[in-house]
Amino acid sequence: MSQPSYDVVAIGNAIVDILSQCDDAFIAQEGMAKGSMQLMFSPADADALYAKMGPGIEASGGSAANTVAGIAAMGGRCGFIGQVADDQLGDVFAHDIRSVGIQFDTAARTGEPTTARCLIFVTPDGQRTMNTFLGASQFLPEAALDRQLIADAAILYLEGYLWDPEEPRAAMRAAIEVARKGGRKVAFTLSDVFCISRHGDDFRKLIADGLIDILFANENELAALTRTDEFEMAVAQLSAQVPTLVVTRGEQGAVAIQNGVRAEVDAEPIAAVVDTTGAGDLFAAGFLHGQAQGRDLQASLKMGAVCAAEIISHFGARPQVDLKALLAGRLG
């Protein structure tokens, strides 16, 4: 097993977010489940919802892509694999991820559908409710995997969201195999409760088969996956199955259990929650970067909390400040 050239290589949906503010009445009226992600299956559905949306800003997104963007902003060496279309939003996504120094070589896909879009409605409490049109993203083929890149990374990071479409699901299974054969670690985020309701059995099997080394969940996802509302029982059950379990708890901070050792961190205080988009993604970024740097569990959690606090203090899911400098100030 050679020394890895990359800290983290992620596979995820390659999405451009369209963010707009709305009130709670709009979320209710449209029958959205506030705080979660729902899929839009046709361009017509996406266009119809967009037509009802207020003025927006566009910013590169995608859960795992946000995570590697965060790690790169801290100085980590990252790669990303995800499918865009050969269109203007695809150019935006590719530009943004490459401009922070991330290796991104997945060839753009020609023809329909377009690059993935996520219509994100942000309510006055800062909560985000997401509606994703997966577009080209759902056609990431196994053939697009750069196996050398995956074998060269200390950690392969996968998002549960990408389990929905068939082709990327097969690609992720193949990627896990490449990583494990190379003696690399596999990190996985459960992404969303509805994602677990669709694919919980697959996720449970991946874990039971010992294929996941680092698992990220929030409280709701933890409950959905373990089918218990009792937090400590769920943590005990799951941490027995994965070497590292990280559970984020919003304002209550986060908990991690690594090979029987437990650490906890409070949420970082911030002036105002502007937009929670990317909170979990950036928590994962801070935590994984800490681990890649050889920091202990407690310090890694703290790094996750600092990164999450930065991202929810502004609109959009990619860092707007120098995360390296920010962390230097917080960690000493």
Contacts with a second copy by CB under 8 A lie at 18, 21, 50-51, 53-60, 69, 87-89, 92, 95-97, 99-100, 114, 315-316, 318, 320
Distance of closest approach, residue 87 Cβ to a second copy, in angstroms:
6
Question: Residue 248 is encoded by which pair of tokens?
Answer: 């984020």
Instruction: Give whichever of 33 and 321 is closer to a second copy, judged by the CB atom.
Output: 321
Instruction: Give whichever of 21 and 293 is closer to a second copy, judged by the CB atom.
Output: 21
Query: Residue 84 CA to chain centroid, in angstroms?
Result: 17
Question: What whole-number distance in Å separates Cα of residue 127 and Cα of residue 28?
Answer: 14
Residue with tokens 């200390």: 154
Q: Which residues pair with 40 in a beta bridge?
A: 133
Residue 225 near residue 201 (C-beta atoms within 8 A):
no
Residue 323 near residue 282 (C-beta atoms within 8 A):
no
Distance of closest approach, residue 312 Cβ to a second copy, in angstroms:
16
Instruction: Give whichever of 66 and 244 is closer to a second copy, judged by the CB atom.
Output: 66
Question: What whole-number distance in Å separates Cα of residue 104 and Cα of residue 82?
Answer: 8
Instruction: Give whichever of 87 and 310 is closer to a second copy, judged by the CB atom.
Output: 87
Residue 317 near residue 307 (C-beta atoms within 8 A):
no
Distance of closest approach, residue 94 Cβ to a second copy, in angstroms:
10
Distance of closest approach, residue 81 Cβ to a second copy, in angstroms:
18
Question: What whole-number distance in Å separates Cα of residue 129 and Cα of residue 112?
Answer: 26
Instruction: Give whichever of 97 and 292 is closer to a second copy, judged by the CB atom.
Output: 97
Residue type, 37: M
Distance of closest approach, residue 324 Cβ to a second copy, in angstroms:
14
Instruction: Give whichever of 97 and 267 is closer to a second copy, judged by the CB atom.
Output: 97
Sign of the Cα torsion 80, 85, 86, 91 reads negative
Instruction: Give whichever of 148 and 320 is closer to a second copy, judged by the CB atom.
Output: 320
Report H helices in 41-144.
43-52, 63-73, 88-99
Distance of closest approach, residue 82 Cβ to a second copy, in angstroms:
16
The two beta strands, 153-159 and 128-133, are: unpaired
Distance of closest approach, residue 270 Cβ to a second copy, in angstroms:
15
Distance of closest approach, residue 316 Cβ to a second copy, in angstroms:
6
68 closest CA partner among 120, 9, 26, 134: 9
Instruction: Give whichever of 46 and 212 is closer to a second copy, judged by the CB atom.
Output: 46
311 closest CA partner among 266, 267, 262, 257: 267
Instruction: Give whichever of 85 and 190 is closer to a second copy, judged by the CB atom.
Output: 85
3-state secondary structure of 217: strand
Distance of closest approach, residue 32 Cβ to a second copy, in angstroms:
18
Question: What whole-number distance in Å separates Cα of residue 295 and Cα of residue 313?
Answer: 26
Within a 13 Å sphere around the CA of 140, how many CA atoms are in the beta-carbon half? 31
